[in-house]
Amino acid sequence: MKIRVGVVGISGYVGLELVKLILQHPEIELAAAMDAAETGEKPVDEIHPRLRGACKLSTFQPDKDRMAELKLDTVFLCTPDKVSYELVPKILSAGIRVIDLSGSYRLKDTASYSSWYGFHHANDNLLKSAVYGLSEWNAKAIASASLIANPGCYPTSVTLALLPLIRAGMIETGSDIFCDSKSGVTGAGRGVKPELMFSEVTENFRPYSPITHRHAPEMCQELEWDLNNFTFVPHLLPINRGIISTMYVQLHQPLSSVEIGAEYEKRYTGRPFVRILGSSRLPELRAVNHTNFCDLAWRLSHGGRRAVIFSAIDNLGKGAAGQALQNFNIMHGFDEGIGLR
């Protein structure tokens, strides 16, 4: 019998990407399509015409009693932060597991939400119990979780690249880390914003939210790095999807490319979605877009004391819907690559 799931936030780019993945998953039945932004019921294939013939569901407002009646095992939330914040405790109270793709349960400090997300967070117990869904690092906790905080797209690209070196003590303690990331426009969501109009984005390239982007504290939390020694500057690319992150780090001592490669191999051997390109090739978006892969590479300078680390992911795939499905697979004891290869 297939596992019955629901998706809230069906109208967005991530919601569409997730539905496409779920529909091709051999062990999942999409039993509910919900959207807090829609009033009344609306056929999913009217919202996303590419799903004609593939999805016959109609949307409804998220309601925990109706979810329980539909016997949902897991609900994916592709919703704005404040919406997820309010929905998560209601859904969990119905005995339904939640994979939340917003930022509402990623940070462990409730006080951080007022300054970084603009709302007061009062669910301290849920923050403590939520498992950060970085699949390659937290699989054991993910397997038994009721609430997964799916990582942000930028943090996925950065933490997968830097965690092996930090955990191995290869990066100089207390040194500055600089992250320069570039994302396609779908990372900003489907809402109508003047700065995201075609005429504003095409043939253009610009930074946004430098230093103050809300993903910075999430990265530092997972890397266990002081925010005062961490600089993150995202940029908007004139393309639909994909993220390239370039990170500049000071190493604890001179290292060779072979030593760095050995650490990445040690951490990611057997993990199907991290591909180590080494020091001879570089990541590119066309190699990862429409996949769940993260490609990693590096270059050394200053006699092996400094490193430039590169990563590439699809912001809608490994950065959102793909990783959410990977986490679902781990939660339910499946091969983590089912529905993603």
Q: Rounded to an integer, what distance in angstroms lies between the CA atom of residue 326 and that of residue 333?
A: 11
**Buried-exposed string 14-26: b where 16+ CB fall within 10 A, e elsewhere:** bbbbbbbbbeebe
Cross-sheet strand order for the sheet of 206-207: 206-207, 230-236, 177-183, 243-250, 306-313, 294-301, 274-278
The two tokens of residue 106 are: 């990623």
Q: Rounded to an integer, what distance in angstroms lies between the CA atom of residue 85 and that of residue 273?
A: 29
Active-site residue, from 55, 78, 153, 294? 153
Rounded to the nearest angstrom, the gap between the alpha carbon of residue 340 and the centroid of all alpha carbons in its chain is 15
Our answer to whether residue 153 is catalytic in this structure is: yes
Whose structure tokens read 């091969």? 335
Q: Rounded to an integer, what distance in angstroms lies between the CA atom of residue 162 and that of residue 291?
A: 21
Residue type, 175: S
The catalytic residues are 153
